[in-house]
Structures are given as structure tokens and as C-alpha cells.
């Protein structure tokens, strides 16, 4: 029997509460000091907590596989990312609050700068135009009409927008138009299967009209479309785990991910401080809390070791606030590693701190990658976290007689 079916069969209700604190890109690599970002950070609260917890290391997807944000979070949520795939377009759309129909195709759009003479891309992000400018351009593009489909277009953040086409017989078996490098022209959308020919035609028709509208803009005089896909129709948290769940996150992408599995997405402001206030406010209303900290990842992506240390320390400072609420299970980990040394997501295992009443404690004294090697959890996989959380929250009954 597969894990999700098992959860569906075995879950029972209890009044226990689970907090899943995800520091995006938490895992790191040592700098010249020999310590990772987490190890270099002063984290007295997490260190104290790990001494009464079980700790370990977790592989987000599979050994050697670097997760995007989507698969990384699916793993944290207990859905095998190799089984369930989500297009980036879907994430962007859900992240800004669009709800997709089963018939809809969602694309992530990037405004870009094209060379006026040759048409090749000179800046894939159009100088990272501000969100206001993006909204202005999207407003112009919203005038586009295509026979046979309904169109929704919305600004996301900076140079990014979400485009949704809805109509009969659409298929997401389509290529992307971003050539992934400057000096090349945007590509046309191509159907990967005959059933997607009609969808490709619609998107190419939309692109032609969009380029016409944008041609005299600067610097965003073009755009590309990526991750065109349908909502994968994941079974919900209520269905799988029987959990009344919510998401506390500041960025559209993670809100979208949470919405995809049926979590209530709360308005949690823009900072860790507003997030923790939100958690306090809605504590009585839910059993599962996905608490997302974004800026660990941003700092890692920027190669800024010290900034990542600082975000970890800022997160450590809210641990007492969380503990005061009395969570029955608190898991602290990340969706994937983003070592400042690599300036990118990576495949490295994530440190995991797993606090609950009935954990079998280990001898780990500080929360960090090296110390977690000796942890009692050993080396687990992200998809193991939710079954363990459910078990420790008395929310799973026995399997078999």
C-alpha cells in the first residue's frame, strides 16, 4: 500500500497540533570557518530544543537530486515529488490567489528585453522591473482576446506574471518559450503530443498579440512563458491526513503550494514578525501549521553567508513564541539546501529537528548539519516527515491486527 493511501486509511482525529517550520533553503555548506550557516548562527533556542528532541538529516527528493521549490515543498507535505509533478505556471497562479479550473492551463510569464533589430533576448528579466511597472504592462496585455478561450493575466512580482487560459480540450504537454540564455530569440510554444496542438496554437496567438502590444515598451518589450501546466489535482490535506491545516507564508509561490494541497492560506504579512503574530492569532483554529521562512533561501541564492546566518538567528528568536503556544509536534527543517557557497539550491540533506512528547531522544546537543549526522532519526526522506508527525500527534491508528 502506498504512503498516502496508508495515511488516508489510518488517520484519526486528536486535539494535538503540529507545526512544520520550513526555513527555505536551510541546508548549507561550511565557509572558511568550517561551519555551515546554521552552525555559525547563534541559535540558543533551537539548540535547547534539539536536546529534548530527535534529530537527523533528510533527503528532499532522492540522493543527488536538487529540488525546485515545488518538489521541495511537496516532499515536506508528504507527497512523493517524483510521483506528483506541478508546473511552475500552476504555482504562480495559485500563489497570487487565482483558483484554477480542471480545464485551465497556467503559465508563468517573464517580461524580458529584446534587441529591437534582431529580436534576441538581451535581458531575460527586463532589468528586474518593479512590480508596479509589471502591473501596468499586464493591464495592457489584458486587452488580448482569443476565440475559444477565456484569458486571465495577473502581475506576480518584479518581472513575473501569471497567464491562465481556460477552454475545452486544453493540454499541458507544451514546451517553454524561454531559451534560458541571452542572445537567443524567444521560442514558440510547441506541442509535445498531438492532443496539445490546439493549446500551442492558442498560446502562440496570445504571444504574437502580446509582442505587438509590448514592442515600444522599455525595458520590457517582450516576454517568455514557462511551466505551462494544469492543476495536478493533488489529494488534499483534509482527505489524506484529516487535518484542518493552514499556511503562514509571505511569498506567493509558497502560498500557492499550500493551496494546492488544500491548506487555508492566511494573510501573514511580509516578515517573520508578522508571521508569528498570525500564528498566535489563529492558533485555536487549526491542527496543522505550515510556517514558511523565505529569506534563508534568498540569502543563500545571493551567496550571502552572513545574511543567511542572520535570518536563521531571527527565526531562532521566534522559537520561544512558538513553544509558548504549546505545539505537540514541532518540526524544524527546510525544503532543500541553498548553500551560500553555491549560490543556488542544492541536493544536500536537510537538518531536521523533530520535537514531540513521545520522541525517542538522541544525544544531539546543537542543531546543525554535522551534529545531526549522529541524530536518532538517521537519514530519512522528506516524505517520511508527515507520517512521523501524524504518529507523534496521536493521529494514526495501528496498521493491521
- The set of cell numbers assigned to 272 is 517573520
Does 240 sit near its own copies (CB under 8 A)? no
Distance CA 37, CA 315 (A): 13
Stretch that binds its own copies, among 96-104, 117-125, 274-282, 390-398 (CB under 8 A): 390-398
Is residue 203 within 8 A of residue 109, CB to CB? The reply is no
DSSP 8-state secondary structure symbol assigned to residue 283 = G
Does 303 sit near its own copies (CB under 8 A)? no
Which of 281, 326, 358, 365 touches its own copies by CB under 8 A? 358
Does 242 sit near its own copies (CB under 8 A)? no
Location of C-alpha cell 536551510 = 26
Distance CA 292, CA 376 (A): 25
Does 345 sit near its own copies (CB under 8 A)? yes
Is residue 308 within 8 A of residue 36, CB to CB? The reply is no
220-245 burial, b if ≥16 CB within 10 A, otherwise e? Answer: bbbbbbbbbbbbeebbebeebbbbeb
CB of 357 vs its own copies, minimal distance in Å: 9
- The set of cell numbers assigned to 184 is 537567443
CB of 10 vs its own copies, minimal distance in Å: 7
Does 118 sit near its own copies (CB under 8 A)? no
Stretch that binds its own copies, among 157-165, 212-220, 306-314, 353-361 (CB under 8 A): 353-361
Q: Identify which of residues 5 and 150 has a Cβ nearer to its own copies in the complex.
A: 5
Does 24 sit near its own copies (CB under 8 A)? no
Residues 41-80 within binding reach of its own copies (CB under 8 A): 57, 61-71
Close Cβ partners of 85 (under 8 Å, ≥ 6 residues apart): 71, 232
Which of 42, 85, 238, 306 touches its own copies by CB under 8 A? 85
CB of 225 vs its own copies, minimal distance in Å: 13
Does 382 sit near its own copies (CB under 8 A)? no
Does 32 sit near its own copies (CB under 8 A)? no
Close Cβ partners of 223 (under 8 Å, ≥ 6 residues apart): 109, 110, 111, 112, 161, 186, 207, 210, 211, 214
DSSP three-state, residue 354: strand
CB of 229 vs its own copies, minimal distance in Å: 10
Distance CA 102, CA 166 (A): 9
Does 33 sit near its own copies (CB under 8 A)? no
Is residue 292 within 8 A of residue 301, CB to CB? The reply is no
Which of 182, 208, 363, 365 touches its own copies by CB under 8 A? 363
Does 397 sit near its own copies (CB under 8 A)? yes
Q: Residues touching its own copies: how many (CB under 8 A)?
A: 65
Distance CA 182, CA 244 (A): 46
Radius of gyration of the chain (CA): 22
Question: Which residues contact its own copies (rule: CB under 8 A)?
Answer: 1, 3, 6, 10, 29-30, 36, 57, 61-71, 81-83, 85-88, 91, 108, 227, 339, 341-342, 345-349, 358, 360-363, 369-370, 373-376, 378-380, 384, 386-392, 396-401
Amino acid at each position: 500500500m502506498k504512503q498516502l493511501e496508508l495515511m488516508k486509511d489510518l488517520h484519526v482525529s486528536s486535539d494535538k497540533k503540529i507545526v512544520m517550520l520550513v526555513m527555505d533553503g536551510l541546508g548549507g555548506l561550511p565557509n572558511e570557518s568550517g561551519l555551515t550557516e546554521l552552525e555559525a548562527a547563534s541559535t540558543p533556542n533551537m539548540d535547547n530544543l534539539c536536546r529534548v528532541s530527535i534529530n537527523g538529516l533528510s533527503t528532499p527528493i532522492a540522493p543527488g537530486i536538487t529540488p525546485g521549490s515545488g518538489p521541495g515543498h511537496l516532499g515536506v507535505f508528504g507527497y512523493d515529488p517524483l510521483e506528483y509533478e506541478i508546473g511552475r505556471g500552476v504555482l504562480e497562479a495559485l500563489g497570487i490567489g487565482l483558483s484554477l479550473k480542471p480545464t485551465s492551463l497556467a503559465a508563468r510569464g517573464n517580461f524580458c528585453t529584446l534587441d529591437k533589430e534582431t529580436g534576441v533576448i538581451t535581458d531575460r528579466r527586463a532589468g528586474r522591473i518593479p512590480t508596479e511597472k509589471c502591473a501596468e504592462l499586464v493591464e495592457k496585455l489584458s486587452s488580448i482576446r482569443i476565440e475559444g478561450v477565456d484569458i486571465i493575466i495577473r502581475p506576480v512580482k518584479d518581472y513575473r506574471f501569471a497567464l491562465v487560459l481556460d477552454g475545452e480540450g486544453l493540454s499541458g504537454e507544451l514546451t517553454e518559450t524561454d531559451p534560458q540564455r541571452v542572445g537567443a530569440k524567444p521560442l514558440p510554444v510547441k506541442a509535445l503530443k498531438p492532443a496539445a496542438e490546439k493549446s500551442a496554437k492558442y498560446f502562440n496567438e496570445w504571444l504574437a498579440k502580446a509582442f505587438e502590444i509590448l514592442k515600444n515598451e522599455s525595458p520590457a518589450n517582450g516576454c517568455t512563458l514557462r511551466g505551462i501546466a494544469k492543476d495536478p489535482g493533488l489529494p488534499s490535506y483534509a482527505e489524506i491526513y484529516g487535518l484542518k491545516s493552514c499556511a503562514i507564508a509571505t511569498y506567493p509561490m509558497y502560498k500557492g503550494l499550500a493551496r494546492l494541497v488544500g491548506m487555508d492560506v492566511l494573510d501573514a504579512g511580509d516578515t517573520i514578525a508578522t508571521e508569528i503574530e498570525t500564528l498566535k492569532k489563529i492558533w485555536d483554529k487549526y491542527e496543522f501549521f505550515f510556517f514558511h521562512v523565505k529569506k534563508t533561501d534568498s540569502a543563500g541564492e545571493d551567496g550571502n553567508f552572513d545574511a543567511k546566518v542572520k535570518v536563521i538567528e531571527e527565526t531562532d528568536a521566534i522559537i520561544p513564541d512558538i513553544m509558548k503556544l504549546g505545539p505537540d509536534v514541532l518540526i524544524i527543517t527546510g525544503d532543500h539546501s541553498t548553500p551560500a557557497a553555491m549560490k543556488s539550491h542544492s541536493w544536500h540533506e536537510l537538518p531536521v529537528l523533530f520535537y514531540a512528547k513521545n520522541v525517542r531522544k538522541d544525544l544531539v546537543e546543537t542543531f546543525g548539519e554535522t551534529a545531526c549526522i549522529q541524530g536518532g532519526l538517521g537519514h530519512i526522506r522528506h516524505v517520511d516527515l508527515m507520517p512521523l508527525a501524524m504518529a507523534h500527534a496521536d493521529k494514526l491508528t495501528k496498521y493491521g491486527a
